[in-house]
Amino acid sequence: MKKKVLLGSIAAIALVLVAGGIKNVTTASKGEYAGRVFIAGMGGHIADANVVIDPTDTNQPVKIPDYTMWTGNKLHFIPLGPPPNYATHDVRIDSRDSNIAFWSTYASSSKSVKVGKSDLRDNTIIAEKSYKLPKEVVEFEETTSKTLYCASGESTNNFLPIFMGYPGFIDVVDKDTLELKHRVMLSSNPELPEDYKFTHGVHSPDRKNFFIIMNGADEGHGKFTGQQHMFLLDMAALENGELKVVKKNTVDFPKGSITFRATYTPDGKNILQASKNWSVMINADDLTIKQKVQFNMKGWEAHDIMPTPDGKYGITAIRVPLPNCDDGKVDDTEELHSSSCTPEGSKKKFDGMIGLWDLHANKYIGEPVSVCRQCHVQNKKHFPLTTFMDMVGCTRCHQDRKNRNSMDVLGTNILCGLDGNLVKR
């Protein structure tokens, strides 16, 4: 009898879905760009957002469309593992195969770092490897559990994650085997500063150079000075374990800047640099600031920026502070908890969002869209999406493949790096 009731319930649910699926709250059919954007998260996962981008929409230029015959929108995620060892700031799509994404870890409980690669066709992990931290980092002690890998770049055959903390290094990892071919300490070249806080960087579009930017500090891993030390490295030398400086410059960035991840525009002429409350365009030829724009909203932080395929716009990963639980700004239909607001006396909590920067007008368009919160907020996952079925839509907010379950990875709303497969329509 119970089995019949269960089967009847499933049939009823299916009927409701088919009947109700015609209703599409956010069709988002209009748009100049479309595709998937992948956003690395501190919860041990990578958000996978199918987006449509319409720069003419001055209210909400970036949208995540709804399924036509299903409930909810096209936001999924790639589970990596529990946050203590799988929190990630990094996702990098393979230039040889757009179905493959590399990732690296920001945190560790065992004085090690991980790199891995996932199949974007089914969002499963293909392989991963761990490497012990170098003795220089272990002896320094302050950066053995977090501020590990953050930014990354690639050549044709190698994935190059960058150790964000101090003392910094760049690893050269074989894309096919994930073998660690070289570990290049930043201290190996005396042209690079000794006193810095964080290091980030990215490859040039032609893979001939590797850009790095180092936050100046009053001592190793000390207080920020506001200076940013920028270097272009020779990629061929780096792949052979050598730091060869092609070009360098030191610039005072705007007050409040902390430089994070960056991406070149497709033509290789500019670098879009996320700098906390500033978004900065750097001239790739002479490493000077070309233009900059600041968020109007207090507390918003830019952590990565990628260009649209034609280089006209920047898609920015933004940390947006959640309202205080007692300020009346939280939807009263939501249960108040750490994923929907910040409890009184607690450390500020964030939602992860992506916004659109008009590079010609040098301004942000409309409001950003959330790519984190809906899978973190309780009761937002529809009953059919969490019961019985394992098919497209159902796996949006829960997956149980290769023991990577959402219960392990929905730890925090904090995002960082992004990459994407987008087309101009």
Distance CA 196, CA 213 (A): 10
**Tens digits of per-residue pLDDT, 379-400?**
344 444 444 444 444 444 444 4
User: What is the token pair recorded at 73?
Assistant: 């929108």
Q: Provide the 8-state DSSP code for 94.
A: -
- pLDDT at site 21: 36
Q: How many alpha carbons fall within 13 Å on the CB side of residue 267?
A: 7
What are the phi and psi torsion angles at 378 (to 5°)? Answer: -65, 150
Does residue 85 carry a pLDDT above 90?
A: yes
The whole-number average pLDDT for the span 354-368 is 97
Least confident stretch, 77-86, 250-259, 336-345 = 336-345
% of the chain exceeding 70 in pLDDT: 77
Does residue 11 carry a pLDDT above 80?
A: no
Does residue 330 carry a pLDDT above 60?
A: no
- pLDDT at site 144: 97
- Work out the pLDDT band at 7, boundaries 50, 70, 90: very low
The whole-number average pLDDT for the span 17-36 is 58
Contact 173, 163 (CB under 8 A): no
**Tens digits of per-residue pLDDT, 111-170?**
999 999 999 998 889 999 999 999 999 999 999 999 999 999 999 999 999 999 999 999
Name the 3-class secondary structure at 17: helix
- pLDDT at site 71: 56
Q: Provide the 8-state DSSP code for 251.
A: E
Least confident stretch, 18-32, 125-139, 252-266, 378-392 = 378-392
Contact 150, 169 (CB under 8 A): no
Nearest CA to 197 among 170, 230, 227, 222? 222
What are the phi and psi torsion angles at 343 (to 5°)? Answer: -60, 150
- pLDDT at site 400: 40
Does residue 329 carry a pLDDT above 90?
A: no
Name the 3-class secondary structure at 262: strand
Please indicate whether residue 208 or residue 70 has the higher confidence score (pLDDT): 208
- pLDDT at site 43: 84
What's the fold here for domain 2-424? Methylamine Dehydrogenase; Chain H (2.130.10)
Please indicate whether residue 106 or residue 73 has the higher confidence score (pLDDT): 106
In this structure, which amino acid lies at residue 357?
W
Cβ-in-10-Å burial (0-12, 13-18, 19+) of 205 comes to: middle
The whole-number average pLDDT for the span 319-339 is 55
Q: Provide the 8-state DSSP code for 278.
A: E
Distance CA 281, CA 70 (A): 40
The whole-number average pLDDT for the span 18-34 is 55
- pLDDT at site 343: 67
Helices (H) and strands (E) in the chain, counts: 6, 27
Please indicate whether residue 237 or residue 256 has the higher confidence score (pLDDT): 237
- pLDDT at site 402: 46
Nearest CA to 370 among 407, 325, 317, 307? 317
Does residue 101 carry a pLDDT above 50?
A: yes
Please indicate whether residue 66 or residue 355 has the higher confidence score (pLDDT): 355
Nearest CA to 412 among 358, 375, 381, 369? 375
**Tens digits of per-residue pLDDT, 190-243?**
999 999 999 999 999 999 999 999 999 999 999 999 999 999 999 999 999 999
Distance CA 384, CA 18 (A): 12
Partners of 355 in the β-ladder: 316
Distance CA 159, CA 201 (A): 13
- pLDDT at site 340: 57
- pLDDT at site 70: 59
Partners of 88 in the β-ladder: 105
- pLDDT at site 300: 94
The whole-number average pLDDT for the span 352-358 is 96
The whole-number average pLDDT for the span 104-109 is 97
CA 51 vs. chain centroid, Å, equals 15
In angstroms and rounded to an integer, the radius of gyration of the C-alpha atoms of the chain is 22
User: What is the token pair recorded at 220?
Assistant: 């190793």
- pLDDT at site 262: 98
- pLDDT at site 23: 30
The whole-number average pLDDT for the span 322-342 is 51
Contacts with 149 (C-beta within 8 Å, 6 or more apart), sequence order: 88, 89, 90, 104, 105, 106, 113, 115, 161, 162, 163, 164
- pLDDT at site 401: 44
- pLDDT at site 181: 98
Contact 377, 8 (CB under 8 A): no
Does residue 18 carry a pLDDT above 80?
A: no
In this structure, which amino acid lies at residue 233?
L
First to last CA, the chain: 53
Distance CA 177, CA 311 (A): 33
Contact 146, 134 (CB under 8 A): no
Least confident stretch, 158-167, 275-284, 321-330, 344-353 = 321-330
